[in-house]
Amino acid sequence: MRKAWLLLMVSIVSILVLAGCGTKSKEDVTTALGKKVEEMKSYESNAKMTLQTGAEPQVYEVQIGHKKPALYRVNLKNAQKDQSQIIIRNEEGVFVLTPALNKSFRFHSEWPQNSSQAYLYESLINDINKDPDATFTATEEHYVFETKTNYQNNKLLPTQEITLNKKDLSPVSVKVMDPDKKPLVLVEFSGFKFDASFDGDAFDVKKNMTGAQLELPTSGQVSDEKDNAFSVMIPGDIPAGSEMKEQKEVATENGKRVVTTFSGDKSFTLVQERARYSDVSTSSFISGEPVDLGFTVGALTENTLTWHYQGVDFTLASQDLSQDEMMMVARSVQGAAVK
């Protein structure tokens, strides 16, 4: 009887030891993630990005491609609103393409290294490794980290929940949350492939512009009619100490320009006018940094923020707003049309 009891105890201890050997700690997983990023040569993936920052959820299809050391292509599409933009980083710089306008804009920028990017794998792993206070849990199939974000101009989204596959450490989903832990951005990955192969011109601006335009519906190109109307929009979120003072319409050779002025301690001006389609593909240099507004990519300087959305060009200018506040205002414009 005693011998049988000893054998039973040895068996139980062995099972516990083996179970312990199969459990990875936070340090084990972060080390493995760092090694994964170091050894991978490239990746590509599809994703669905859902934004909860407006009156209604906005859903975007995202196609991501990356090849070391610094080639990137991110294609963002909102099929319901014919909204499409492509971010490219190649040897010549950082470009934001707007196929519906036949225009591209070039930045001298460190994107994407200068801030968090919810749809870029190495950015997520970098955020995990740089946050000593990141929390870690393991489920049957996934590793889950909650970390601080690294958005230079966005304190409204301070944390993110990153879920990874245990099997190959590929991303499953990312939830970017507000200070109350409410998810405002959800990225869900599908078809993630490490060490993907790309054509030689996969990151070429002209090639990507041509390919994207072939996929545009007829309604995707901005009309060139001078009297082409558009719905005037105002921001849903404005800083305390601001109030709408005046809205006036100015006639231009291309139609109309609407100027909305907000006064108070945090004064600013919002200008919007119909975007013009370019018959000849153009590329312009923009001073500032490309910033992700969720529904589009804008250009941010110290006192201005410009962006394109649904066939309209927007310019937000202020001497009083911080860059955080300018981005907050801009993000809320897309949800508040005024008749």
> For 72-102, what is each residue's pLDDT tens digit?
999 998 866 667 899 999 999 999 999 988 9
- List the alpha helices (DSSP H) in the chain: 2-21, 26-39, 121-130, 205-214, 323-333
Contacts of 283 (CB under 8 A, 6+ apart): 95, 103, 104, 105, 106, 205
pTM of the entire predicted model:
0.83
Contacts of 7 (CB under 8 A, 6+ apart): none
Question: CA-to-CA distance for 61 and 4, rounded, in angstroms?
Answer: 61
What is the pLDDT at residue 309?
Answer: 86
Q: Which of 71-85, 100-114, 161-175, 290-304 has the lowest mean pLDDT?
A: 71-85
Q: Which of 12-21, 37-46, 203-212, 236-245 has the lowest mean pLDDT?
A: 12-21
Cβ-in-10-Å burial (0-12, 13-18, 19+) of 87 comes to buried
Number of H helices and E strands in the chain, helices first, is 5, 21
What is the pLDDT at residue 257?
Answer: 93
Both tokens of 31, joined, read: 């080390």
